[in-house]
Amino acid sequence: MTTQYKKTTIGSHRLKAESLMMGYGYDPQLSEGSIKCPNFQTSTFVFKSASEGKDFFDVVSGRRQLKDGEQAGLVYSRFNNPTIEIAENRIALWDNAQECAITGSGMSAISTVLMALSQPGDVIVYSEPIYGGSDTLINGILSQFGIKAVGFMSNGGLNALENAIETAQQLGTISVILVETPDNPTNNLVDIAGCKALAVKAATKQCKQPVLAIDNTMLGPVWQRPLEHGADLCLYSLTKYVGGHSDLIGGSCSGSKELIAKIRKMRNSIGTTMDSNTAWLILRSLETLKIRMKAATEGAQQVVEFLNQHEKVKRIDYPGLLTEDNPQYAVYQKQCSGAGSTFSFEVEGGQEAAFAVLDKLQLIKLAVSLGGTESLAQHPAAMTHSGVAKERREEIGITDGLIRISIGIEDPEDLIADLANALA
Ligand SMILES: *Cc1c(COP(=O)(O)O)cnc(C)c1O
């Protein structure tokens, strides 16, 4: 039976995620009629009886499967908590997923997924450039547990992935193909449906099909929904656009019931769960997610137009500027519905010139991170990507004159004035 607060349709009309963010999954009658879901700031839950406690434990530890429509009983907030579960249900709606598991950070989502799905001897295939934390995790931490890794360049297209799969299969079984699209900071796109086809093909040469996991932090869930293009898992750093106010750290992973059950089991054991207070902030953020991402993207488009005509700007990496002659244009048309608001541009004059621009900005703050209401700018070569060897950086376009910017929801004309002044 679908209860009123879990309805996603009116008659035959299907409601959109943005309309469901204000109420889905929450029954006010269970909380004194409170219109808003409370923050269930509690570590543990009282059982009605010993046998109920036993049964609830059987469910959270996976000894008993839930019947259709049955809800897991509440035990302890490392396993489950109403505020967290409602946030998970709402993110699953955005991703068009059966289930979602939220975690304490984007990195804990990625590490929990890779650990849940890999065994010693397995190989992870990943796109490059990848988020620095993911790179350290894959090459510096998981390697300690006998999990190997092979990278491929995201600007190398599906050929690069196919070659990496071949190399990886000589080393072992591929457990996960982890792809960031668009990549950061150069905004190259990887064809998600094409990756899935290669994962299916790879399965003919090994005992299990590699799980295709997309880190959707940069465009999702408003401008890109990887599960609709064949991905098995959709991951977020909720710290960025979804949280959206630069005031929390969080992560999530959406996918099928079966995969998320495995990921939850790992999360509940190693304790990468989110706390209820952060989950409550996520619920607040999800209500305005679409209008924030829309406003930021519209602002970014205006800023890009300005920079594109500026004589001191050599290059801009922004999906909205792709032209039909670029093979990535077709990928953009197929899997993205918007270009987002984080992009990079290169100024003439290398690091000295780039630093001078960054130091002159007044409205735009000089900080790493992205996806917040305020605009942020940083220097990838000296900051987020300083761990990448200089030669490699040049090869992948992270030059010394490159500045990454995340446009927030300020008035675009004010942002342009700030940039015009800094560039002058
Ligand atoms: C920030 C980020 C992460 C890591 O998320 P945290 O919340 O900082 O742990 C992972 N992937 C991408 C693309 C990111 O931008």
Our answer to whether residue 215 is catalytic in this structure is yes
pTM for the structure as a whole:
0.96
Q: Using most ligand atoms within 8 A of CB, pick from 217, 278, 385 the residue to mutate for ligand 1.
A: 217
Per-residue pLDDT of 103-121, as tens digits, reads: 999 999 999 999 999 999 9
Q: Give the number of the atom of ligand 1 that is nearest the alpha carbon of residue 109.
A: 9
Q: Is the pLDDT of residue 65 over 90?
A: no
Mean pLDDT of 302-328: 96
- pLDDT bracket for residue 53 (50, 70, 90): very high
Q: Give the number of the atom of ligand 1 that is nearest the alpha carbon of residue 134.
A: 10
Q: Is the pLDDT of residue 209 over 90?
A: yes
Cα 213 to averaged position of ligand 1 atoms, centre (Å) = 14
Q: What's the confidence (pLDDT) of residue 1? A: 43
Q: In this structure, which residue's CA is closest to atom 1 in ligand 1?
A: 237
Q: Give the number of the atom of ligand 1 that is nearest the alpha carbon of residue 370.
A: 15
Our answer to whether residue 392 is catalytic in this structure is no
- pLDDT bracket for residue 62 (50, 70, 90): confident
Q: Using most ligand atoms within 8 A of CB, pick from 134, 238, 240, 282 the residue to mutate for ligand 1.
A: 240
- pLDDT bracket for residue 273 (50, 70, 90): very high
Our answer to whether residue 48 is catalytic in this structure is no
pLDDT above 70 as % of the chain: 100
Burial bucket for residue 49 (CB in 10 Å: 0-12, 13-18, 19+): exposed
**Residues whose beta carbon lies within 6 Å of some atom of ligand 1:** 105-107, 131, 133, 180, 184, 215, 217, 237, 239-240, 249, 251
Cα 370 to averaged position of ligand 1 atoms, centre (Å) = 9
Cα 275 to averaged position of ligand 1 atoms, centre (Å) = 18
Q: Give the number of the atom of ligand 1 that is nearest the alpha carbon of residue 180.
A: 13
Q: What's the confidence (pLDDT) of residue 2? A: 54
Per-residue pLDDT of 2-15, as tens digits, reads: 578 889 999 999 99
Our answer to whether residue 131 is catalytic in this structure is yes
Q: Which of 24, 26, 126, 131 is catalytic?
A: 131
